[in-house]
A and B are shown apart, each in its own frame.
Chain A
Amino acid sequence: MTYVEIFLAFFIPGIIGYGGGPASIPLIEYEVVERYQWLTVDEFAEVLALGNALPGPIATKMAGYIGYDQAGVLGASVGVFATVAPSLVLMIVLLGLLNKFKESPKVKSMTLFIRPTIAVLLGLLAYRFFANSYSDVGIWQTLLLVIVSYLLLQRWKIHPAFVIIGALVYGALFLG
């Protein structure tokens, strides 16, 4: 049963996640946190943070780790397979046909049409992280971390990996 659930949890984000890895993050969160409750919001944030600090595609990293966490190496394989296989098979089978449609405005508008929805999903996810942080460490620590990491990431363009490492060190020293 677990394997089927792992497959479904990553298959759905895999086939509706138009717009690459980042678009599928909130869809994965919906499945693993809200639907199957394999992780809490905080645990999901931790996986996402460390996943972002490591190289390589994010969606498959999340699928691999969460699958492993639930059901070992086979679980990890099922998660990655469900993320990768469906659209890859489509691509190989339909290549000739797709070649004809790749300039079609309707096909191009598909990614465009779901962007506001993905934005809402990402926004709700951000809100959940902030709300959790508020109840974990209070308003002042949350504000401090939010403002400092925003400035580092957006204003000074520090690489996310370093910002996350910095947050981990800060947390270990001051929030333990």
Chain B
Amino acid sequence: MEQGKLFLAFFRVGLLGYGGGPASIPLVHKEVVEKYKWMDAEEFTDILAIGNTLPGPIATKMAGYIGYRVAGVLGMINAIIATVVPTIGLLILLLTSLASFSDQAWVQGMTKAVVPVVGVMMAVLTWDFFEKAKAGLGWLKSGVLFLLSFVSIGLIDVHPGIIIVTLLLIALYGPVRGMEGGER
């Protein structure tokens, strides 16, 4: 019975969470804390904070961990499947049916029109991340990191993973004092 509830809870979250993972956090809270009372608000906040200190998508980390807590390994798999599978199915359906018409002019037109729009979305996210970096690190530090990243990734073509791992190590072991930012 618990498995059925888990599935329903995260199925609803997956289908209603417009705007990606972070947007679905309040929905997870509603299901897990308010509706099924699997944990209290404080514990939920703790799990969210811990999830945020680890990399990777937040929605599935929450689903997996809460599923595990409620009903073991099976619950974990169940909750992740409920979060992820319905919309992947939809996306595959949409894209493969478009692909079968891919030699039609109107389908090619659709692809062409969507490219600049996604460009705008990425540009907005770029600005967003830069602003957040500036708020947390200050103008100078984020500017320097921005420039260094641009030169190494954009001009020299270093794998971004190398840059990111280096920065993570500096954050952990470097001579960095506590800073005011770090929201989320």
Contacts and interface: CB of A to CB of B under 8 A. Distances in A.
Given A56-B17, A112-B179, A26 B55 contact: no
Contacts of A167: 110, 113-114, 117
At the interface, is chain B mostly helix, strand, loop or mixed?
helix
B133 A115 contact: yes
Contacts of B57: 14, 17, 20-21, 24, 57-60, 83-84
Interface of B: 14-22, 24, 46, 49-61, 64-65, 68, 76, 80, 83-88, 90-92, 94-95, 98, 104-127, 129-130, 132-133, 136-137, 142-143, 145-146, 149-150, 153-154, 159-161, 163-165, 167-168, 170-172, 176-179, 181-182, 184
Interface string A87-107: 110111001001101100111
A109 to B, nearest CB: 5
B84 A60 contact: yes
A74 interface: no
Interface residues of A, number: 105
Interface string A6-29: 000000101111111111111100
Given A64-B91, A154-B124, A171-B110, A58 B21 contact: yes
A14 B57 CA distance: 7
Given A42-B111, A110-B172, A116-B130, A176 B53 contact: no
Contacts of B116: 129-130, 133, 142, 145-146, 149
A87 B160 contact: no
Given A57-B21, A172-B109, A76 B126 contact: no
Nearest to A59: B57
Contacts of B19: 160
A56 B27 CA distance: 11
A38 interface: no
Contacts of A133: 112, 115-116, 119
B64 to A, nearest CB: 4
A134 to B, nearest CB: 9
A78 interface: no
Most A CB contacts (10 A, CB to CB) among B64, B114, B149, B178 go to B114
A40 to B, nearest CB: 10
Given A115-B132, A124-B153, A54 B53 contact: no
A27 B160 contact: yes
A149 B145 contact: no
A115 B124 CA distance: 14
